[in-house]
Chain A
Amino acid sequence: MKFLHNFLEKIRPAETSPMYTLHNAIETFLFVPGHTTHSGAHVRDAIDLKRTMFTVIIALLPALVFGMFNAGYQHYRWLSPDLAFWTMDNLMYGAMRIMPMIAVTYIAGLSIEIYFAYSNKHAVNEGFLVSGMLIPLIMPIDIPLWMVAISTAFAVLFGKEVFGGTGMNVLNPALTARAFAFFAYPTYMSGDKVWIGDSADLAQKVDGFSGATALGQYATTGTTSYSAWDAFLGFIPGSIGETSAVAILIGAAYLIYSGVGSWKIMLSGALGALTMAFIFNSVSGSMDPGPMKEYMSIPPHFHLVFGSAAFALVFMATDPVSAAHTETGKWIYGFMIGILGILIRVFNPAYPEGWMLAILLMNTLAPLVDYYVVDSNIQKRLKRAKA
């Protein structure tokens, strides 16, 4: 690899040129620099931010690959009812739809990141490696690519760069992109026409076509045609990467084992969701019959496998920058996300899902949670001084 390094050395642009930022990004992508320690400890752990972000990408791969199979499966099964799931055709269909979304997201996001890195004279940060993968996975398959690009651009600009870039943002950038798309283009982000590839085409070809998600069915009819087992495995319509709880749990296990993701947030989030669902269950008995009664009596474990609950708790709530920073705070933060996620999901009349809003809300409240956790440490120190 010596020749490659020498080549990069030879074409290194002047430090003032915009190309320098790009060159630096590519060079550090290919080579971990031979920089040595110059202050403090002389030995360092091999981990850096690139590796951390790459670990999250690895954890996302099961959900991504499953999402590709499922995109094809959900499309083709309307044309041939007894379709198998793990077929090459399904995978190819999904890949043809999803790879362009990923490419568009990275191009839109990284070009803004590189511009800001140049104008603020710092290296390109790695945060977008993960955001760029998360954004396509939480979008409906039928969303036009230009909407993905605009949402991504909005998220990077107003979710991150205005605050000072990676590590400084208040809100989760990927969810900022989704929230933008949701409020700017609601017809492409909800309803029953967007969760299955080429829905409009299918609706013309197939009688009785319905692209509603399980939660969409619950919100309108009070019941669903999908079983919890299907939802756990992921054979249901939904946002690209969010349908399979199994694939997400594999990712969660890797995040926790590698020490990158906070198990406290994941666990407390699940507990919060179960608690809220249980409360709804216990009051639904005394309600008048109707869709709301049915929705409130969904068993607690259904809530965790339908919709984006699992994906949100594992990959979205655990973003270390926008989550609570203290360990005690993480328990509170996760639990509140669980409570709010189910609360909004059940009582939201326009859109049968709540995690995006629950997490964004708790992102803004996380500093407050930390404030009180840290304050108790300060009070303890003051008390000791007086004693």
Chain B
Amino acid sequence: MAGDAVFYAKADPSVLVPSPVSGIVARVVRGEKRVLQFVEIAPDAVNEYRDFGAAKPSDLDRAQILEKLKASGVWSLVQMRPYGVVAKPGDQPKAVFINSMDTAPHAPHIDVQLAGREQSFLEGMEVVKRLSDRTVLTVREGRSLPVFESLNGVEIHLFSGPHPSGNASLHIQQISPLNKSEVIWTLTAQDVCVLGELFLTGTCRLERVISLTGSGVREPKHIKVLPGSALSGILANQVEADGIRIISGNVLTGVHVAKQDALHYYHHQIATLPEGDQPDFLGWLLPGFGKFSLSRTFFSWLTPSKTFALDTNMHGEQRNFVMTGQYDRVFPFDIYPLQLLKAMWASDIDKMEQLGIYEVVEEDFALCEVICTSKQPLQELVREALDTVYTEMN
């Protein structure tokens, strides 16, 4: 039944990952070192939900609330900072941050995400408030919703500006910076609705609104799906041409997937891009009127209002770090990005700590990676470093 645990975390068996549907396990695929890759479930015609029992958050104490979240598997939606991994129920976080503003390109709009789910959102916030002493909701300036106005006991902070103004790391650094050994839990606004529905109905309902976007789809739109849904169904009649890359997640941080794969558990978007696998004759030498660049090294700066059809071409080969000060334009943290990355490169944990690794996750370096002259794989580097530090510290 939907809500039954499919698997649990090796490090903490109380952290369960629920099945979004009722059905029969059709296939379990493991990869290197028998690491679980995916579990395929053939759904029933009608979804049946496991009943974990409705309850009022105010009637339960913190331990009982945690117990309910863990048993239903909903806990797997709660993430922690530092490291950006599933939160540990045993931690005492100094705050819980709810993010209602995804500023990634073509992210689903918050009003569509929460439409018709206001009641679950409010109930979910009641649950969240019991988890720590401080609950923070971050909202994009001008995108506040009536449902946010009716909240009590929640700090609301407004952020404006282009991406990455919607990154949780940035919100945390501005509002309550993380020091060593401190913990903050994070959730998205849609996840809060799932928490709310668990308490209102007693069931684990993971449906979410995602956006289907990019120049490869016929008709970009918002759709309501379950995480783990097969892409073949979602993309039917949408992506037909060859040479289109399908991405679970957004174009900055998402994962390259095949048509027969599924929507990833934490993603709110399916993006598409044409593959840019064609060599470009003297591409680095010609004026480049049609080339997108944040620098003004190509003469596309002569036409500032021009729009670009981006593809997945690397536009060059990987090199050592040469340019400096370049990342600062897209990295609004009080952190020296190049120095932190070099510490990560050298696996120098002391230096990473000093330079602020606890305050970032890989998505914060996505724009640095986009504009990097040396084409360094920054997000991969940051994720490996976070995993190294996590293993050392736990």
A41 lies within 8 A of B366 (CB): yes
Tell me how far the C-beta of B340 lies from the nearest C-beta in chain A, rounded to whole angstroms: 10
Q: Residue A42 contacts which of B247, B298, B377, B380 (CB distance < 8 angstroms)?
A: B247
B336 lies within 8 A of A31 (CB): no
A47 lies within 8 A of B315 (CB): yes
Interface presence of B237 (CB below 8 A): no
Q: How far is the CA of A377 from the CA of B366 in the complex (A)?
A: 23
Interface presence of B238 (CB below 8 A): no
Nearest CB in chain B to that of A123: its residue: B317
Q: How far is the CA of A370 from the CA of B277 in the complex (A)?
A: 40
Interface presence of A94 (CB below 8 A): no
A325 lies within 8 A of B339 (CB): yes
Interface presence of B260 (CB below 8 A): no
Please indicate the chain B residues that have their CB under 8 angstroms from the CB of A49 in the complex: 316, 319, 322, 373-374
Question: Given A42-B252, A168-B320, A325-B324, does the pair A34, B354 have CB atoms closer than 8 Å?
Answer: no
Interface presence of B279 (CB below 8 A): yes
Q: Residue B278 contacts which of A34, A40, A324, A385 (CB distance < 8 angstroms)?
A: A34
Tell me how far the C-beta of B319 lies from the nearest C-beta in chain A, rounded to whole angstroms: 5
* 9-residue interface stretch from A143-151, A211-219, A258-266, A352-360: A258-266
Please indicate the chain B residues that have their CB under 8 angstroms from the CB of A370 in the complex: 339
Please indicate the chain A residues that have their CB under 8 angstroms from the CB of B288 in the complex: 46, 51
Residue of A50, A168, A327 ringed by the most chain B CB atoms within 10 A = A50
Residue of B322, B335, B371 ringed by the most chain A CB atoms within 10 A = B322
Tell me how far the C-beta of A185 lies from the nearest C-beta in chain B, rounded to whole angstroms: 31
Nearest CB in chain B to that of A165: its residue: B320
B312 lies within 8 A of A42 (CB): yes
Please indicate the chain B residues that have their CB under 8 angstroms from the CB of A123 in the complex: 317
Interface presence of A100 (CB below 8 A): no
Q: How far is the CA of A51 from the CA of B366 in the complex (A)?
A: 22
Please indicate the chain B residues that have their CB under 8 angstroms from the CB of A36 in the complex: 245, 275-277, 311-314
Question: Given A30-B281, A51-B298, does the pair A43, B273 have CB atoms closer than 8 Å?
Answer: yes
Q: Residue B253 contacts which of A41, A166, A380 (CB distance < 8 angstroms)?
A: A41
Nearest CB in chain B to that of A24: its residue: B317
Residue of A38, A41, A48 ringed by the most chain B CB atoms within 10 A = A41
B295 lies within 8 A of A43 (CB): no
A41 lies within 8 A of B369 (CB): yes
B298 lies within 8 A of A46 (CB): yes
By size class, the interface of chain B is 35 or more
Tell me how far the C-beta of A160 lies from the nearest C-beta in chain B, rounded to whole angstroms: 11
B293 lies within 8 A of A377 (CB): no
Interface presence of A62 (CB below 8 A): no
A318-331, CB under 8 A of B: which get 1 and which 0? 00110111110010
Q: How far is the CA of A34 from the CA of B245 in the complex (A)?
A: 15
Interface presence of B220 (CB below 8 A): no
Q: How far is the CA of A369 from the CA of B108 in the complex (A)?
A: 45
Q: How far is the CA of A44 from the CA of B377 in the complex (A)?
A: 11
Nearest CB in chain B to that of A37: its residue: B312
Question: Given A32-B280, A34-B277, A262-B325, does the pair A47, B254 have CB atoms closer than 8 Å?
Answer: no
Interface presence of B282 (CB below 8 A): yes
B309-334, CB under 8 A of A: which get 1 and which 0? 01111111101111111101000001
Residues on B lying within 8 angstroms of A by beta carbon are 177, 179-180, 245, 247, 251-254, 256, 271, 273, 275-285, 288, 291-298, 310-317, 319-326, 328, 334-336, 338-339, 354-356, 362, 366-367, 369-375, 377-380
18 contacts between A and B (CB under 8 A): A5-B281, A34-B313, A35-B277, A35-B314, A40-B253, A40-B366, A43-B370, A44-B313, A46-B298, A47-B316, A51-B284, A52-B323, A325-B339, A327-B325, A327-B328, A330-B325, A378-B355, A381-B179
User: Which 5 pairs show the lowest CB-CB distances between chains A and B?
Assistant: A48-B316, A167-B320, A32-B283, A40-B379, A46-B291
